[in-house]
Structure 1
Amino acid sequence: MISQILFIALTIAAIAFFSFNLKKVIRNIKLGRPADRSDQPSKRLATMLKVAFGQTKMAVRPIPAALHFVVYVGFVIINIEVLEIMIDGIFGTHRIFGGLGSVYNFLIGGFEFLALGVWIACVIFLIRRNILKLKRFIARELTGWPKSDANYILFTEILLMTAFLLMNAADAKLQALGAHYYISAGSFPVSHFLQNLLPANDANLIAIERGCWWFHIIGILAFLNYLPYSKHFHILFAFPNTYFSNLEPKGEFTNMQSVTNEVKVMLDPSFAPPEAEAGRFGAKDVNDLTWVNLMNAYTCTECGRCTSVCPANITGKLLSPRKIMMDTRDRMEEVGKTLDKGGAGFDDGKSLIDDYITREEIWACTSCNACVEACPINIDPLAIITDLRRYAVMEESQAPSSISTMLGNIENNGAPWKYSPADRLNWAKEN
C-alpha cells in the first residue's frame, strides 16, 4: 500500500508540475500578435500527418532519418507499456495485461527489439555529436547548455532502455524460478541474453526488477518535466507546429496590415484603422512577432539542417537560421520571467534585435528560403528575419548602404538600378 501511495503521489506531482510549466510556455507563445491559421483544415491535417507523423522531410538525409525513425517509433510504442506500469503502480498488480497471452508476448517481444534499436541509435547519435563532431553540431551557438541538453537526452534514453531490458531480464528469471507475485507472462528475446549477468537468488533479482521498474517510471516522469526546458519540446510541439505551418508558396511575402492601413488613410482620410491593428512596422521584440513565430521557436530541434544549407552561413557570414530560432526562444523565456517578476507593462530595456540578434545577421540573409525548405518540421526562420528587417528599415530608417541605395533607386527610378527609366532600353539599341 505504501508503494501505491508513493506512486500515485509522484505521478500527480509530476503531472501538476508539467501542467504548470506548460501553462507558462503557452503564456509566452501568446505574447505574439494574432495570426489566422484556421483555413484549409483538411490540408493542414494532411501536412501534419505527412511531416510530423510520417517524417517525410527527414528522408533527405537517409542515415540520420533511419536512426531518428527508430528512436521515434521506439519512444511512441514502448511508452504504450507505461499504461500497464501506471495501472500496476496504482492497483499494486504486476503485468496486468499478461492475461492477453500470445498477444502480450508479441507486444513485449516487439518492445524489446525496439528498445535495443533505440539504445543503438542513441549511441550512434552520441558518437556523431561528440566523437565524429559533425560540422552542424559544433557551431558557435551549440556550446554550453545546447550541447549538454542534447547529450543529456541521449544518455537518458540509453539509461531508460537499459533499465527496461534489465527489468525484463530479472522478471523473466524470477518467472523461471517460480517466485511469488511474478506471473508467467511476456516474451523476452533480447533481455534473455542479459539473464546470465544477473544473480540467481530471489531477493537480489527482486531488488533489481523493482529498482529498474521504479527507475523507468520515475525517469519517464522526470523526462516529461524536463521537456519545457529542452529543445526536445519538439516531441510535443512538432504536431501543432506542422498543422499551423504556412501553406502558401515558399517565398511569397504578405502585405503588412499596418502598411495597408497607412495607404488606405492616405487615399481616404476618413478611413480609421482598427485599434487592434495599430502598432509598429515589423518586429523589434518577440511581442511584435506572431504567435506562430514564437511557437516555431519552442519547436526548434536545433538539428542545424537549416544552417547547414544556408548560403550565407556556408560562405562564412555570421547568419545561422538555427541561432535565430534559439535567440527568439531565449528572448521569449526572458520576457516571460520578466512578466513573472515585474508584471504586465514592465520593461527590461532589452529587445530581440540588437540584444539577441545582430543587424549583421539579419542583413546577411539572402531570403532564398533554403532554411525553410530544409526544416523537418516546417519552422520558418525567414519570417522572423523579414520582420526584423522591416522594423530596421521602416521604423528606424537603418539599413546597409547598398540596401538604402537600392530602395532609393526603386523610389526614384522604379527599378533597383541608378539609371533613369528613359534609359532602360538603351542596351537594345543598335550600335
Structure 2
Amino acid sequence: MEIIFQIAFIAFAAVAIWLFSKKLGELKRNILLGRDETINDNTAQRWRNVLLLAFGQKKMFKNPLVAVMHFVIYAGFIIINLEVLEIILDGILGTHRLFTSVLPLGLYNFLINAFEFLAVGVFTVCVIFLIRRNILKLKRFISKDLNGWPRSDANYILITEIILMTLFLTMNACDTLLQQRGYSHYGEHITGNFSFSTFLHPFLNGMNDGTIADIERTCWWLHIIGIFAFLNYLPYSKHLHILFAFPNAYYARLQPQGKMENMPDIQKEVLYAMQPELIPADAAEHKNKFGAKDIFDLSWKNLLDAYSCTECGRCTAACPANITGKKLSPRLIMMKTRDRAEEVGRNINANKSFVDDGKSLLHNYITEEELRACTTCNACVEACPVSINPLDIILQQRRYLIMEESNAPQEWNGTFSNIENNFAPWKFSPDDRDKWVGEMQ
C-alpha cells in the first residue's frame, strides 16, 4: 500500500510542477512581448534594492503596524515552506519525518517550534486582514477597481493560508499524540510536543489511535495538495508578486524620481524639423511609432511591472487626481495592462502567433480620460512597495495620443502651438518677452 501512495505522490507532484513551469513560461513570453530595454547599470545598487525593497519590504514600513503583519505572512510563506521540503521527501521516499534522522533532535525541534510560531502568526494576521477587507472595509479595498475577481482573489488567498496553517498544526498535534501512544511507525520518531499543536491534544484524546492516524494522514495529504494547488494558482493571482517582486526590484529605475525619459525618436524629429538637411535618405523606412498604443509598444519592464502589481491600492490612495474624484487609478492602469497582456497571451496560445484582434491597450482598456487626469507628480511611484512605475505607462500612451493621433484637448493644443511658435506656453512674441523690464524702470 505504501508504494501506491509513493507513486501517487510522485505523479501528483510531477504534474503540479509541470503545470506551474508551463504557465511560468507563458508569463515570461508575455512579458517579453514588450520592446527591448537594456537595464544593466549599477549592479550593486540593484542588489541593494532587492534586499531592502523585496526581502526587507522597506517601503511597507511607512505604516509600521501593517508592515509587521505583512512581514509575518511573508516570513511564514518563505520559512514554513522549508518544512514542505521534508513533506515532499517523505512522500517520494515513503519515510516519516525524514529530517529527524538527519538533523540533531534539538535543532529539529527548534525548527518545527519556530514553524508553528510562524503558523500561528500567519493564521492570526490572515484573520485580521480578512476583517480589514470585509468588515472594516478600508477605502482602498472597497474601491470599484477591485469589483469581481480581484476582490475574491485576495480573500481566497487569505482563507487558503488559514486552512494550510490549520492543517499543519493539526497534523503535528496528531503526530505527537501518536508518538506518546507508541502507535505504529509514529513511535519510532520521538520528538516530544511542539509549541502550539500540543494545545489541540485535549480535542483528540478521546479518539482511538486509528482515527487519529487517519486525521494525521488526511491533514498531511491536504496540506501538500494545498501547497501544490497554491503554486499553480499563483500565476493567475495578484499574489504573483511573491515571485516577481524580486526581479522587479532589481530592474527598478534608479534615476531620481520625476526624471522623465525622452524618446530618441522624438529628439530626432525635433532636430530634423530644425535642420531638414540632416534627415537620412532612408528615414521613412525606419520611422518608429511615438509612444505606446498596445503592450507591444511598451517595454518588457513595463509588462513586468504589470505582473508584479500587488493590487494593494497604495498608488491610487496617494494619487491626487483620484483623490479629487477623477477617473484615473494607477492601480487600475497596471491591472488593465496585465489583463491585456493575458488576452494577447491567450490569442497566441490559440493561434500559435498573435492574430490581430482589433483591440489595443489604449482605448479598449485604458481611456483618454484616465490618461489626461494624470498630473505626473510621481506619487504613485513613490507609494508602491515593489517599485512599480504606472506613470511610465501613462506617459507613453499620452505620447501616442498626441504625436500619433493628434488627439489632445483644445487647451493643450493652444499650449503646443504657442511653444512651437513663441518658444513659451504664452501667446506673445519672444521679442516682447522682456518688455516688463522696461516697465519696471
- Give the deviation of 1:419 after TM superposition: 2.9
- Give the deviation of 1:255 after TM superposition: 2.1
- Give the deviation of 1:225 after TM superposition: 0.2
* Unmatched segments (≥5 aa) in structure 2: none
My pick for the range that moved more, 1-10 or 337-346, is 337-346
Q: Which amino acid aligns with 2:381?
A: V
Partner of 2:258: 251
Call closer, same or farther: CA 1:208–1:27 in 2, change over 3 Å.
same
Asked if the contact 1:109–1:187 (Cα under 8 Å) also holds between the matched residues in 2, the reply is no
Q: Which amino acid aligns with 2:378?
A: N
My pick for the range that moved more, 176-185 or 214-223, is 176-185
Partner of 1:141: 145
Asked if the contact 1:32–1:290 (Cα under 8 Å) also holds between the matched residues in 2, the reply is yes
The structure 2 residue matched to 1:269, chosen from 279, 284, 300, is: 279
Partner of 1:335: 344
Partner of 2:132: 128
- Give the deviation of 1:41 after TM superposition: 1.3
The structure 2 residue matched to 1:184, chosen from 178, 184, 190, is: 190
Aligned: 1:424 with 2:413: no
Aligned: 1:373 with 2:382: yes
Asked if the contact 1:108–1:187 (Cα under 8 Å) also holds between the matched residues in 2, the reply is no
- Give the deviation of 1:200 after TM superposition: 3.1
The structure 2 residue matched to 1:159, chosen from 156, 163, 170, is: 163
* Unmatched segments (≥5 aa) in structure 1: none
Distance in 1 separating the partners of 2:307 and 2:287: 27
- Give the deviation of 1:39 after TM superposition: 1.6
For residue 79 of structure 1, give the secondary structure of its aligned residue in structure 2: helix
RMSD: 1.6
1:390-425 CA distances to partner (integer Å, 9 max, x unpaired)? 000000000112221211111112112223323333
Distance in 2 separating the partners of 1:191 and 1:59: 31
Call closer, same or farther: CA 1:350–1:299 in 2, change over 3 Å.
same
Asked if the contact 1:98–1:186 (Cα under 8 Å) also holds between the matched residues in 2, the reply is no
Call closer, same or farther: CA 1:393–1:123 in 2, change over 3 Å.
same
Asked if the contact 2:305–2:389 (Cα under 8 Å) also holds between the matched residues in 1, the reply is yes
Q: Which amino acid aligns with 1:49?
A: L
- Give the deviation of 1:338 after TM superposition: 1.3
Call closer, same or farther: CA 1:131–1:358 in 2, change over 3 Å.
same
Distance in 2 separating the partners of 1:427 and 1:254: 35
Call closer, same or farther: CA 1:421–1:24 in 2, change over 3 Å.
same
Identity of aligned residues (%): 57
Asked if the contact 1:77–1:111 (Cα under 8 Å) also holds between the matched residues in 2, the reply is yes
Partner of 2:315: 306
For residue 181 of structure 1, give the secondary structure of its aligned residue in structure 2: helix
Aligned: 1:281 with 2:290: yes
Q: Which amino acid aligns with 1:268?
A: L
My pick for the range that moved more, 254-263 or 374-383, is 254-263
My pick for the range that moved more, 277-286 or 172-181, is 277-286
Aligned: 1:79 with 2:81: yes
Partner of 2:225: 218
- Give the deviation of 1:261 after TM superposition: 4.2
Q: Which amino acid aligns with 2:157?
A: I
Q: Which amino acid aligns with 1:241?
A: N
**Matched length:** 430
Distance in 2 separating the partners of 1:59 and 1:116: 22
Distance in 2 separating the partners of 1:332 and 1:17: 20
For residue 185 of structure 2, give the secondary structure of its aligned residue in structure 1: coil
My pick for the range that moved more, 278-287 or 419-428, is 419-428
Asked if the contact 2:344–2:354 (Cα under 8 Å) also holds between the matched residues in 1, the reply is no
Partner of 1:39: 41
- Give the deviation of 1:204 after TM superposition: 0.8
- Give the deviation of 1:281 after TM superposition: 0.6
Partner of 1:19: 21
Asked if the contact 1:122–1:154 (Cα under 8 Å) also holds between the matched residues in 2, the reply is yes
Distance in 1 separating the partners of 2:284 and 2:25: 30
Call closer, same or farther: CA 1:152–1:382 in 2, change over 3 Å.
same
Q: Which amino acid aligns with 2:199?
A: F
Q: Which amino acid aligns with 1:58?
A: M
Distance in 2 separating the partners of 1:298 and 1:219: 23
**Would you identify which runs of 4 or more consecutive aligned residues in structure 1 move more than 4 Å?**
271-275
Q: Which amino acid aligns with 2:173?
A: A
Partner of 1:195: 201
Under a length normalisation based on structure 1, what TM-score does the superposition of the two structures give? 0.96
Asked if the contact 1:95–1:185 (Cα under 8 Å) also holds between the matched residues in 2, the reply is no
Partner of 1:65: 67
Q: Which amino acid aligns with 2:94?
A: G
1:293-352 CA distances to partner (integer Å, 9 max, x unpaired)? 001000000000000000000000000000000000001111111122234351000011
- Give the deviation of 1:6 after TM superposition: 0.7
- Give the deviation of 1:38 after TM superposition: 1.4
Distance in 2 separating the partners of 1:39 and 1:271: 34
Call closer, same or farther: CA 1:61–1:5 in 2, change over 3 Å.
same
My pick for the range that moved more, 28-37 or 56-65, is 56-65
For residue 200 of structure 1, give the secondary structure of its aligned residue in structure 2: coil
- Give the deviation of 1:98 after TM superposition: 1.4
Call closer, same or farther: CA 1:26–1:417 in 2, change over 3 Å.
same
Partner of 2:422: 413
Partner of 1:207: 214
1:140-192 CA distances to partner (integer Å, 9 max, x unpaired)? 11010000000000000000000000001111111111112112126411111
Asked if the contact 1:109–1:186 (Cα under 8 Å) also holds between the matched residues in 2, the reply is no
Distance in 1 separating the partners of 2:299 and 2:284: 18
Partner of 2:51: 49
